[in-house]
């Protein structure tokens, strides 16, 4: 455990509400390198509250990198400078004494700022509701081992299923595309035998809702993969494209 604290200038985006104008506000902090980034913000907030000033609004929950609640743009990068971790897993030992740190919310057309660093991400739930599931009711299910699934397939499905739904891919993309998010769910279910019956309609319905919600198109810059805290591969986007094309070729639903 290191005793030496590091001193930072933290520039935080403050915006009282969706329709108000935001700006960066400076905070000086001396913090233990063993603290997490969010614990550093907790300390700033505790100081603000002591001065009867409104604390910085930001969201976090599990603080273990799995719930997907936290998501800040730190020095221009969603989830900060270290690859494959969520904001809550970023620790202050990755910063140097005297650094200036910029903290902003995820920015995307489909993610409105609600207050300070909190954004509205319910679009991601709407995409899942459109088809991100296998339609089985509870009960009357065959034994779990009735369908053997190869380790490779199951493992590839798990790679895709690891998505935490944080939206960093959207925030990283210059088009604010949600393709990596959508492709992860489409891939997981398209790979598994259980997902076959709805394979066609699933991809069509999810892509349709994604487009309707104002998420942009994919232009293959791979920024999403680079910023994804779970390292979800852009290969999933390739699979999504293939699934989508095949679905449209197979579909009886002909649109003019």
Partner 1 sequence: MAKLDPKIPAGPLQEKWVNHKFNMKLVNPANKRKYDIIIVGSGLAGASAAASLGELGYKVKVFTYNDSPRRAHSIAAQGGINAAKNYQNDGDSIYRLFFDTIKGGDFRAREANVYRLAEVSNSIIDQCVAQGVPFAREYGGMLDNRSFGGAQVSRTFYARGQTGQQLLLGAYSALMRQVHLGNVEIFTRREMIDLVTIDNQAKGIVVRNMVDGLIEKYSAHAVVLATGGYSNVFFLSTNAMNCNTTAIWRAHKKGAFFANPCFTQIHPTCLPIHGEGQSKLTLMSESLRNDGRIWVSKLKKDMREPNDIPEEERDYYLERKYPSFGNLSPRDISSRSAKEVVDEGRGAKGGEAVYLDFKDAINRLGKHVIEERYGNLFEIYETITGENPYNVPMKIYPAPHYTMGGLWVDYNLMSTIPGLFILGEANFSDHGANRLGASALMQGLADGYFVAPYTIGDYLASAKPKKESLDHPAFDTVKKENEELIGKLLSIKGKQTVDDIHKKLGRIMWNKVGMGRNEKGLNEAIKEITDLRDEFWKDVNVVGTDKDINQCLERAGRLIDYLELGELMARDALARNESCGGHFREEYQTPEGEALRNDEEYAYVAAWEYKSLGSWELNKEALIYENVKLATRSYK
Q: Contact region for partner 1 (CB under 8 A) — 64-72, 174-182, 214-222, 236-244?
A: 64-72
77 interacts with partner 1 by CB under 8 A: no
Residue closer to partner 1 by CB (options 79, 223) is 79
Query: What does the alpha-carbon distance between residue 208 and residue 195 come to, in Å, rounded to a whole number?
Result: 19
Contact positions with partner 1 (CB under 8 A) in 205-234:
none
Give 241's contacts (C-beta < 8 A, 6+ positions apart). Answer: none
Closest CA to 63 of 82, 78, 85: 85
Q: Contact region for partner 1 (CB under 8 A) — 51-59, 214-222, 234-242, 246-254?
A: 51-59
Q: How many CB atoms lie within 10 A of CB 193?
A: 10
Q: How far is CA 212 from CA 89, 127, 167, in A?
A: 33, 10, 17
Cβ–Cβ < 8 Å for 186, 209: no
**Out of 19, 142, 174, 254, the residue judged to bind partner 1 by CB under 8 A:** 142
- State both tokens at 78: 């969603």
**Out of 125, 211, 242, 250, the residue judged to bind partner 1 by CB under 8 A:** 125
Contact positions with partner 1 (CB under 8 A) in 157-196:
157-158, 161-162, 164-165, 188-189, 192, 194-195
118 interacts with partner 1 by CB under 8 A: yes
Residue closer to partner 1 by CB (options 66, 226) is 66
Residue with tokens 């001065």: 51
Q: Cα 226 vs. chain centroid, distance in angstroms?
A: 12
Residue closer to partner 1 by CB (options 9, 62) is 62
Query: What does the alpha-carbon distance between residue 150 and residue 232 come to, in Å, rounded to a whole number?
Result: 21
19 interacts with partner 1 by CB under 8 A: no
Residue closer to partner 1 by CB (options 98, 139) is 139
């Amino acid at each position: 455990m290191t005793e030496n604290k590091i001193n930072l200038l933290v520039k935080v985006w403050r915006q009282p509400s969706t329709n108000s104008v935001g700006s960066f506000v400076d905070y000086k902090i001396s913090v233990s390198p063993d603290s997490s980034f969010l614990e550093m913000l907790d300390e700033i907030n505790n100081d603000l509250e002591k001065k009867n000033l409104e604390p910085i609004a930001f969201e976090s929950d599990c603080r273990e990198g799995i719930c997907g609640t936290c998501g800040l743009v730190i020095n221009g990068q969603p989830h900060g400078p270290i690859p494959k971790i969520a904001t809550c897993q970023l620790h202050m030992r990755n910063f140097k004494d005297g650094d200036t740190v910029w903290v902003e919310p995820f920015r995307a057309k489909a993610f409105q700022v609600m207050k300070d660093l909190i954004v509205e991400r319910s679009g991601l739930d709407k995409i899942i509701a459109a088809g991100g599931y296998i339609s089985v009711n509870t009960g009357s299910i065959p034994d779990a081992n009735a369908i053997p699934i190869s380790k490779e397939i199951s493992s590839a499905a798990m790679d895709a299923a690891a998505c935490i739904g944080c939206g960093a891919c959207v925030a990283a993309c210059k088009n604010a595309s949600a393709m990596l998010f959508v492709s992860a769910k489409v891939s997981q279910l398209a790979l598994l035998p259980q997902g076959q019956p709805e394979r066609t309609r699933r991809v069509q319905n999810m892509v349709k809702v994604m487009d309707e919600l104002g998420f942009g198109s994919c232009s293959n810059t791979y920024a999403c993969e680079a910023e994804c805290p779970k390292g979800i591969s852009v290969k999933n986007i390739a699979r999504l494209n293939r699934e989508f094309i095949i679905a449209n070729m197979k579909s009886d639903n002909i649109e003019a």
